[in-house]
Amino acid sequence: MLQTQRLLLIAPSSMTRTPAFDRAAALALAMQLPLHIVAFDYSQALAVAGLFDPEQFRLARDAYLQTHRQWLVDHAASMRKHGVEVTSEVVWVQHPYEEILHFIDEMTLALIIKDASEESTLKRVFFTPLDWQLLRDCPVPVHLVTTPLHPRPRNILAIIDVLRDEDQDRVFNDQIIDAAAKLAALCDADLQLLHVFDWTALYAQDMGFGSLPLASGVHEMSGKAQQEAFTAIAERHGVAVDNRHFIEGAPVPSICRFVSEYRIDVIVMGTVQHNGLKKLLGTTAEQLLHRAPCSVLAIKPGKVFTF
């Protein structure tokens, strides 16, 4: 028997209503899916104290968990008043990612939603170690929310890379656009499609730094080929001409400017786990996530939205 898909909201342990609560509620209504809220609690100091007095530790932990459970119950009740089907729980666990994997095994999750903390002074987003684990390794699409504006997104941007050569990479572009198009349709939002032609990356990849500069003809041929590939994929997905954007420049600054100009609420992008010790997400994706100009929906290869 197939399980009903759900959205999973990872709530902060601070018992604070954050932008992710409103985004999760809006998406649950738009997708007509139930929402499950989970908060992960753990105190190292309390755990150490429990070594000396296990009974007092148990009483203190249970009292705190009950307070947090009631807090979530109250906020879940307010969501129900707006038509959201919602459940909640609090889990005492030191390593949340392993617990999230248990949720993935036990539930059919369409999407995991979590806040990312924005540092307003530096205009940067701070990602926790858990955020990076989710972005790198989580088999379910992950939505990191950075702003309280527009709980239901109004403007969605799909970012693709038409420089991909392998068939599986071209399919990945299709998956990114499909996910963004579904989200836009469900939220009645505008969909924009963007590719940034970074000829310097092409030069570094094909020629190597320190080689002779690329001839202008090669630059133009490469740009034309990428633009034709971009047009073809946009046509295939039925993206309106006015919503297709092929721009030349350094990817991260160009994307940030575009997000600001078009007032984008959510970037839909692919994150690829590279082999090796560092498990990097890829240069452009990693740099963009460090600056995250708006909320991000991260798609993994082969993981298709099914709602």
Give per-residue pLDDT as tens, 157-169.
Answer: 999 988 765 555 6
- Residue 260: per-residue pLDDT: 93
Compute CA distances 186 → 27, 154, 220, 307, whole Å: 8, 11, 39, 10
- Residue 180: per-residue pLDDT: 97
- Residue 122: per-residue pLDDT: 47
d(CA 196, CA 216): 18
What is the SS3 assignment for 136? helix
d(CA 201, CA 173): 19
- Residue 129: per-residue pLDDT: 82
Encode pLDDT of 229-256 as tens digits.
999 999 999 999 999 999 998 888 999 9
pLDDT tier at 263 (50, 70, 90 boundaries)?
very high
DSSP 242: G
pTM as predicted: 0.86
Q: Is the pLDDT of residue 207 over 70?
A: no
Segments of the chain assigned to CATH 3.40.50.620? 1-115
- Residue 18: per-residue pLDDT: 93
Encode pLDDT of 286-301 as tens digits.
777 777 789 999 988 8
- Residue 167: per-residue pLDDT: 56
Segments of the chain assigned to CATH 3.40.50.12370? 146-307
DSSP 241: G
pLDDT tier at 302 (50, 70, 90 boundaries)?
confident
DSSP string, 160-191: --TT--SHHHHHHHHHHHHHHHHHHHHHT-EE
d(CA 290, CA 273): 16
DSSP 128: P
- What's the CATH superfamily of 1-115? HUPs (3.40.50.620)
Q: How many CB atoms lie within 10 A of CB 253?
A: 12
- Residue 251: per-residue pLDDT: 87
Q: Which CATH number fits domain 146-307: 3.40.50.2000, 3.40.50.12370, 3.30.300.180, 3.10.20.30?
A: 3.40.50.12370
d(CA 286, CA 69): 35
Encode pLDDT of 220-233 as tens digits.
677 788 889 999 99
Mean pLDDT for the chain? 83
- Residue 300: per-residue pLDDT: 84
Query: Which has the closest alpha carbon to 205: 139, 151, 142, 161?
Result: 161
